[in-house]
Structure 1
Amino acid sequence: MAKRLTEIDPWLAPYEGHMIRRRSLLNDTVDVIENRYGTLKNFADRHLFYGLHKTNDQWVFREWAPSASAIYLVGAFSGWQPQQEFKLQKSSGGNWEIALPESIFKHGDYYKLWIEWDGTGGMRLPAYATRVVQDPETLLFSAQVWQPEPFIWTDQNFRVADEPVLIYEAHTGMAQEEPMVGSYIEFADKILPRIKAAGYNTLQLMAVQEHPYYGSFGYHVSNFFAPSGRFGTPEDLKFLINSAHNLGISVIMDIVHSHSVRNEEEGLSRFDGSYDQYFHSGDRGNHPAWDSRCFDYGKEEVQRFLLSNCRYWIEEFHFDGFRFDGVTSMLYTHHGLEKAFTSYDDYFDGSLDDDAVLYLTLANKLIHEIHPKAISVAEEMSGLPGITAAPNDDGLGFDYRLSMGVPDFWIKLIKEKADEEWQVGTLFHELTQHRPEEKVISYAESHDQALVGDKTIIFRLADKEMYDHMAIDHKSLVIDRAIALHKMIRLLTLSTAYGGYLNFMGNEFGHPEWIDFPREGNNWSYHYARRQWSLFDNEKLKFRWLGMFDKAMIGLARKHSLNGIPEIYLKMDNETDQVLAFERGSLLFVFNFNPSVSYTDYGIPVYPGKFRNILSADNPVYGGFDRVNENTVHFSQPVPLNKSHHQVKLYIPARTAFVLERQKVRSVYDV
């Protein structure tokens, strides 16, 4: 039976009042929803009511705009001017509606809204528009009538894989090697097979929701129900997801409910003339760091808008869940900016937004009611208690929290500490710490670190040497170190994660270039907004080594369901020698971070048994130096002076790692 948070973590006892309030607010809200609407799913049906819909032999369009004084549909049919015959009628609750003959619209037509308020007005895109297209010449966006032939899904037998969740994070537009904006179809044809071959079982798609500025990475959303038209049609996106499912790959999307773009003609800001229709009024409605608008999660229509958005992407596009962006910013009135969470008081000091907590909890309830195997990940850095606990146990209901401190830890370590100063006990502590009730998705480096102005792990380790010494016949001590540590860092991050692991596309093989989207400063070039897959494909380059090691590492995690095993047993953290060893399931992981000293007959405490090497970062196939005999079977032996304890004695070369598997013992003579 599940336990409430205060039972799992006694340190939360002084804050029981907060837990009770959280529980009461959820229960009361669910009761109201079920009494009024029957189910939470029915509550999240706004996309089926608002927007443009074809009903029998007519078109019906509805919009919510309580502060508007008049609304007109405009398009080629009206000369792009407001005309009386296309004026919507206002009804109760701030709703507007118009019914038009079937002949008014045909598939592919463009349209917008002209909204008036307080003696003025402006062009707007419908809040629930499902297809938005940018004119390549004027750069203006328009909604588009979209009534194609129904997409034929062939993924009926697909099931989301059990743990571990091994996520390949990707951006459709910059996934191609050619300097261009890639498409959904090209991604399905060229990139999905690579993800499958690399062993990842989950694709996380960035930049799905339409956004005016390409270089925002998709995080400044304007049209929440519209797949970005830069990459193709909605059916093209469905083709991508259907293709992924047929390859056995789950697909989740970066969903942005933490804020909205400030743009008014394309987005929701000042949609009906008021600044607080969807957002908080005053300064609270403006995000101080992101130049964007902050949703008011306490408003019922905002809740229904965002919940409907979750339902829409799952039902219409078969997404298998979401990575919720900016959860920390949602949770606190200070958005987590310049805030160090050093004690429990910091979570419950009055800055927590109860409405945001409620919305996220409702979102997770809805997601899992619609798709019980859905994957829900919170990008959350504060470590708020209950993020991944069930709603009935005072939690917010996420399946995983993104362990955002891990990549920051690695970059800080590489930047500030010499290799000889790396403390293996600190490494183990930082990579295994999480709240008792939560599962996490760990990652060694984020997409942010691949952007211009920052550096990936491989770039920090190798720097300019990458440009001249990545051919396999080029010798370089700098590259040797970079390759060795790149493998060790990623293996340690993966093997200590409880829940899952994430990689940003190209980082698995040490992609050498930063990401720089087209802008005036680079003469609108796509040269850096792409991925150079040929570097991995070329067997004469060392990038191949890194990619092949990543594939072996991911394969090991899948075969042994590694990240679903909660127990991890530390066996050795010798700070002087810089040797770290731990057991997880049947696997023994051994790391020697010492840059120069190898150890012979090094004893690692274990339970009695025999062990066989199943993965070595020192294998020449992965750019190693072949110092580990992978064919040797290692038998444990009693520790001198303490025969009740066993150890396995190993040769552990400098700056390398390997994994031993405990072998099944048939009889006492096998040990």
Structure 2
Amino acid sequence: RYALFSNHLKNIEENEGGIDEFSKSYKAFGVNQLLDGRIYCKEWAPGAEAVFLTGDFNGWNPFSHPYKKMEYGKWELFIPPGEDGSPPVAHGSKLKVVIRAQSGELLYRISPWARYVVRDEDKVNYDWVHWNPPQSYLHKHPSPKRLKSLRIYESHVGIASPEGKVASYKNFTYNVLPRIKDLGYNCVQLMAIMEHAYYASFGYQVTSFFAASSRYGTPDDLKEMIDVAHSMGITVLLDVVHSHASKNSEDGLNKFDGTDYCFFHSGHKGTHQLWDSRLFDYANWEVLRFLLSNLRMWIEDYRFDGFRFDGVTSMLYHHHGIGTGFSGDYNEYFGLHVDEDALCYLMLANYMIKFLYPECITIAE
């Protein structure tokens, strides 16, 4: 196991410039504003025949902005600024990646790296909205020093209100955090932050991994909430779901490029029978890039102080813990039923977090 981890780490060093650079891929993939005014777009779609960007910015012309094919299933696109130097894609405008699948079908997809997705009341699916405000929220308070003893308050922003509606980040900031502080808790663990189309899943059927749920407000509202928690000396943990993903394709990762093996195992191995969701292929280089970058983004952009990894048993074993008990016998924990690729990913995740952010906390469910 350690040899597999060491080999992965060595390969990352040799091919990506180290885990620091590798885990910053969220700054390149998706749609990102460059300092010179251009927008750089990058996607991994190994099963695609062609890739385009469409949206409000080009009148929803599906073919006017084609991506250039690169090595290893990657695609890139540069969009120059407007004649007046303005961003070519306006903040708040809607986008879609257009994939020409191997079958010839055109698929309209949300980028796996999308930072903000919203759903209109009259629609079923989410829309990808370009998030690039002129001035993002600036954190004012440092993270608390790592605590010797945690008193964790597990919470869900949407149900943290006596009112019969989905509550907001603002409500949690100004009405709930003071109560948590007064009760003597020094840590809050947030559920259902990563965007999920199915609200009743309590956030465990993630559709957009890099997007903070828009049900409760904007990304800046969440940043403010975490900043205020830090001002109270409260450590903030994210309940991160890297054990599986929603099987939605219109507004999720599933069949992003028209195949069933982009991000996930193909066929039976790629489906969780109880959760009715897709299972990541942790042996895939680009899946490792995606998941490690996801952790990095939540720490860097939102200032989360650590993670509670959901569904670790499902990750560690090929049987996913289904119909299996653990009594303490070594044979239940070690053997061919262990998914060593998933285990290696968790080792890489822990290594990256502790190497770059020694104060961060990691908890396994």
Query: In which range does the TM-score fall when normalised by the shorter chain?
Result: over 0.9
Alignment correspondent of 1:57: 37
Asked if the contact 2:57/2:93 (under 8 Å) is kept, the reply is no
Aligned letter for 1:130? Answer: R
Q: Distance in 2 between matches of 1:122 and 1:36?
A: 32
Alignment correspondent of 1:45: 24
Alignment correspondent of 1:109: 93
Asked if the contact 2:40/2:76 (under 8 Å) is kept, the reply is yes
Q: Give every structure 1 segment of 4 or more consecutive aligned residues whose post-TM-superposition deviation is greater than 4 Å.
A: none
Alignment correspondent of 1:134: 119
Are 1:34 and 2:13 matched, yes or no?
yes
Are 1:95 and 2:74 matched, yes or no?
yes
Instruction: Answer with 179-188 or 69-78: which moved more.
Output: 69-78
Aligned letter for 2:93? Answer: D
Q: 2:295 aligns with which of 297, 303, 310?
A: 310
User: What SS does the corresponding residue of 2:151 show, helix, strand or coil?
Assistant: strand
Alignment correspondent of 1:70: 50
Q: Distance in 2 between matches of 1:51 and 1:38?
A: 20
User: What SS does the corresponding residue of 2:298 show, helix, strand or coil?
Assistant: helix
Q: Distance in 2 between matches of 1:30 and 1:115?
A: 32
Asked if the contact 2:57/2:90 (under 8 Å) is kept, the reply is no
Are 1:155 and 2:134 matched, yes or no?
no
For residue 254 of structure 1, report the CA deviation from its aligned partner: 0.5
Aligned letter for 1:153? Answer: H
User: What SS does the corresponding residue of 1:295 show, helix, strand or coil?
Assistant: coil
Q: 2:362 aligns with which of 376, 382, 387?
A: 376
Structure 1 136/101 Cα, relative in aligned 2: closer, same or farther at 3 Å? farther
Q: Distance in 2 between matches of 1:37 and 1:228?
A: 31
Q: How does 1:252-263 map to 2 (within 5 A)?
A: 252-263=237-248
For residue 44 of structure 1, report the CA deviation from its aligned partner: 1.2
Aligned letter for 2:4? Answer: L
Q: Distance in 1 between matches of 2:336 and 2:207?
A: 31
Q: Distance in 2 between matches of 1:71 and 1:36?
A: 25
Q: How does 1:530-609 map to 2 (within 5 A)?
A: none
Asked if the contact 1:161/1:201 (under 8 Å) is kept, the reply is no
Q: Distance in 2 between matches of 1:141 and 1:341?
A: 40
Are 1:222 and 2:207 matched, yes or no?
yes
Q: Distance in 2 between matches of 1:260 and 1:81?
A: 30
Number of residues paired by the alignment?
A: 356
Q: How does 1:338-349 map to 2 (within 5 A)?
A: 338-342=323-327, 343-349=329-335
User: What SS does the corresponding residue of 1:128 show, helix, strand or coil?
Assistant: coil
Aligned letter for 1:183? Answer: S
For residue 161 of structure 1, report the CA deviation from its aligned partner: 4.2
Aligned letter for 1:107? Answer: H
Q: How does 1:14-33 map to 2 (within 5 A)?
A: 22-33=1-12
Q: 1:202 aligns with which of 187, 195, 206?
A: 187
Alignment correspondent of 1:360: 346
1:384-404 deviation digits (Å, cap 9, x = unpaired) = xxxxxxxxxxxxxxxxxxxxx
For residue 36 of structure 1, report the CA deviation from its aligned partner: 2.7
For residue 81 of structure 1, report the CA deviation from its aligned partner: 4.3
Alignment correspondent of 2:107: 122
User: What SS does the corresponding residue of 1:229 show, helix, strand or coil?
Assistant: coil
Aligned letter for 1:49? Answer: A
Alignment correspondent of 1:616: none
Alignment correspondent of 1:598: none
Q: How does 1:467-546 map to 2 (within 5 A)?
A: none
Instruction: Answer with 40-49 or 199-208: which moved more.
Output: 40-49
Asked if the contact 2:196/2:206 (under 8 Å) is kept, the reply is yes
Aligned letter for 1:96? Answer: W
For residue 35 of structure 1, report the CA deviation from its aligned partner: 2.6
Alignment correspondent of 1:189: 174
For residue 144 of structure 1, report the CA deviation from its aligned partner: 1.2
For residue 46 of structure 1, report the CA deviation from its aligned partner: 1.8
Q: How does 1:268-307 map to 2 (within 5 A)?
A: 268-307=253-292
Q: Distance in 1 between matches of 2:335 and 2:146?
A: 40
For residue 371 of structure 1, report the CA deviation from its aligned partner: 1.6
User: What SS does the corresponding residue of 1:114 show, helix, strand or coil?
Assistant: strand
Structure 2 length-normalised TM: 0.95
Alignment gaps of 5+ in structure 1: 1-21, 380-671
User: What SS does the corresponding residue of 2:5 show, helix, strand or coil?
Assistant: helix
Asked if the contact 1:160/1:320 (under 8 Å) is kept, the reply is no
Are 1:321 and 2:306 matched, yes or no?
yes
Aligned letter for 2:309? Answer: F
Indicate the percent of aligned positions where both proteins have the same amino acid.
44
Q: Distance in 1 between matches of 2:65 and 2:151?
A: 50
User: What SS does the corresponding residue of 1:205 show, helix, strand or coil?
Assistant: strand
Q: 2:62 aligns with which of 67, 70, 82?
A: 82
Say which structure, 1 or 2, has more relative contact order (CA 8 Å, 6+ apart): 2
User: What SS does the corresponding residue of 2:43 show, helix, strand or coil?
Assistant: strand
Structure 1 42/69 Cα, relative in aligned 2: closer, same or farther at 3 Å? same
Alignment correspondent of 2:85: none
Q: Distance in 1 between matches of 2:173 and 2:3?
A: 45
Aligned letter for 1:62? Answer: K
Alignment correspondent of 1:545: none
Q: Distance in 2 between matches of 1:230 and 1:160?
A: 31
Asked if the contact 2:146/2:360 (under 8 Å) is kept, the reply is no
For residue 349 of structure 1, report the CA deviation from its aligned partner: 3.1
The structure richer in helix per residue is: 1
User: What SS does the corresponding residue of 1:36 show, helix, strand or coil?
Assistant: helix
Alignment correspondent of 1:333: 318
Q: Distance in 1 between matches of 2:80 and 2:146?
A: 47
For residue 207 of structure 1, report the CA deviation from its aligned partner: 0.5
Asked if the contact 1:311/1:370 (under 8 Å) is kept, the reply is no
User: What SS does the corresponding residue of 2:362 show, helix, strand or coil?
Assistant: strand
Asked if the contact 2:354/2:360 (under 8 Å) is kept, the reply is yes
Q: CA RMSD in A?
A: 1.2
User: What SS does the corresponding residue of 2:159 show, helix, strand or coil?
Assistant: coil
Alignment gaps of 5+ in structure 2: 83-87
Q: How does 1:621-632 map to 2 (within 5 A)?
A: none
Q: Distance in 1 between matches of 2:76 and 2:12?
A: 25
1:117-176 deviation digits (Å, cap 9, x = unpaired) = 1211221100111111112212321111111103221113x3234221110000001101
Aligned letter for 2:349? Answer: A
For residue 326 of structure 1, report the CA deviation from its aligned partner: 0.2
